Amino acid sequence: MKRGRIFGAVATFALAGALACAGCAGGGQGASTDAGKASVLDPADPVQVELWTYYNGTQQQAFEDLVKEFNAGRGKDTGVVVTSSSQGGVNDLAAAVTDSAQELVGSEAMPDAFLSYSDTASVIDELGRVADLSPYLTDDEKAQYVDSFIEEGDINGDGSLKVFPVGKSTETLQINLTDWQKFADATGSTLEELSTIEGITAVAQRYYEWTDAQTPDAAGDGRPFFGRDAMANYLIMGSRQLGHDVFDIEGGACSLDLDRTTMKKLWDNYYVPMVQGWFSAEGKFRSDAVKTGDLVCYVGSSSSVVYFPKTVTVDDNTSYPIELAALSNPTFKDGKPCAPQQGAGFVVAKSDEKKEAACVEFLKWFTDKEQNTAFSISAGYVPVKKDALTLDNLQKAAESVEGTSENYLVNLPATLDTIEAGVYANPPFKGGVEARAVLEKALSDKAVADRAAVAAAVEGGATPEEAVAPYLEDAVFDAWLADLTAKLEAAIA
């Protein structure tokens, strides 16, 4: 296992007093860039910087409100004026920035800073268009940020800072507690069983059999229990939990580590329950299936919990309210906890020192405890500094943030527990976007197609056991693994 970024409990939450001191050392709310860089800013000669985001709706409004606050306060005092605009979605922004960086005909001029994930930032960096922000922060200032959050911005592994963290998320297990409780009361199932991936599989089988038994005249009509939103995360993080990196990255180059035993365990705890109807992948997102009562729980982004439904609508005549419960991201029984570290940061375009310093001035203000906490709550993220990333801070702050999502607060302990246990973001590498796209579809597409074939065979007169048997043979797994290997090798070649 080579270069990567993982963050555990000691790095974030231990030594609370020391963290509080670190928050003072860097010059919290009123801090400016270090003396050498700050001297280029002059309130008598303000500089304007343009920021591009993919924020929409509530996120965009929360961000724009903070931009106005900055311009009226810190920006006015230091000589910085920020303007911002949303470019649509994540992919829209990435495409627009890439076109701008290459100066393609019809593209707009490069913004001074833009939201980006590390893969896009790496592409722009290879064009020589990304500023290194490390010189603009003192060591004390860097120490205020959660270690892995700021390390993720070192996309070249050389101590630079090319992606400035502003808000993060991970994955949690989100549960329709209302329907879960009916099932748990009837079967003796417990939420503790859902702490492991194998436990979820076992409970899903139990749920399928329990619902199937409710219609004794119709065999094989049990209902699915569980689903996943991001399959690439499952394969990458699940492998890492078991001691192997699917993408083993060294110096920007990737080699594959598709250990058969590890991949078989991943297969057995997704494909096998999928083809038997214990899991499902209905709807664009799994919350869609929760809304119709077709799933009880799923693993999804902690930032998406605001969309978890408050009501199940079975049909035009049947609906009922449900309650949300949330647990930490599940881990394999014999694995080491590891969940995805998610959330884009700001990349500053390489320009003159005054423009770069102005962007950093805003980003440092934006990620100070008060501002970043309020924005994170509004946007569904968690803040990026150690003194802000606490349950107490976020719960207290939520009382004064208008429109705080109740779902966000319910999910918050699970989010922080997941981050504390360990989160990871692999560094960018050549072919990384294409390779991740392969992982996103390779297992789920086959599982969905084969489940449909099993259901068709049952409708044709086969028993459920007869219909699924051919898909449970090792040869099916081995053929899939060979195909996956070939596709990934092609992506990173």
Could you report the per-residue pLDDT of 47-100, keeping only the tens digit for each? 999 999 999 988 899 999 999 999 999 999 999 999 999 999 999 999 999 999
pLDDT at 159 over 60: yes
Question: Is residue 10 in a domain?
Answer: no
**Both 278 and 306 in a single domain?**
yes
Q: What does the pLDDT read at residue 363?
A: 98
Shared domain check, 112 and 69: yes
pLDDT at 37: 57
Nearby residues of 72 by Cβ (< 8 Å), 6 or more positions away: none
Residues 238 and 253 in one domain: yes
**pLDDT given at position 388:** 98
293 located within any domain: yes
pLDDT of residue 379: 93
Report, as an integer, the average pLDDT of 93-119: 95
Regarding whether 210 and 96 lie in a shared domain, the answer is no
pLDDT above 90 as % of the chain: 87
Q: Is the pLDDT of residue 31 over 60?
A: no
E strands, 262-385, are 297-301, 311-315, 318-321, 324-328, 339-340, 345-348
Cα–Cα distances in angstroms (integers) from residue 96 to residues 12, 108, 228, 371, in the given order: 35, 8, 30, 28
- For residues 150 and 178, membership in a common domain is answered with no
| pLDDT tens readout for residues 370-397 | 999 999 999 999 999 999 999 999 999 9
**pLDDT tens-digit map of 215-263:** 988 878 999 999 999 999 999 999 999 999 999 998 888 999 999 999 9
The reply to whether 317 and 225 lie within a common domain is: yes
Q: Is residue 14 part of a domain?
A: no
164 and 219 belong to one structural domain: no
**Beta carbons of 362 and 75 less than 8 angstroms apart:** yes
Domain range for 360: 47-168+343-389
Q: Is residue 325 part of a domain?
A: yes
State whether 87 and 191 are in the same domain.
Answer: no
What pLDDT shows up at residue 236? 98
**pLDDT for residue 14:** 34
Residue 369's beta-bridge partner residues? none
Q: Is the pLDDT of residue 123 over 60?
A: yes
Asked whether residue 5 is domain-assigned, the answer is no
pLDDT at 250: 87
Q: How many domains in the chain?
A: 2
Query: Are residues 191 and 225 both part of a single domain?
Result: yes
Pairing of strands 47-53, 253-256: unpaired
- From 130, 23, 59, select the one nearest 367 (Cα to Cα): 23
The predicted pLDDT at position 38 comes to 52
Q: Which among 84, 284, 279, 227 has a CA at the least distance from the CA of 166?
A: 84
pLDDT > 70 fraction of the chain, expressed in percent and rounded: 92
- CATH code of residue 292: 3.40.190.10
Count how many residues are written for the chain. Answer: 493
Span 297-322, pLDDT tens digits: 999 999 999 999 999 999 888 999 99
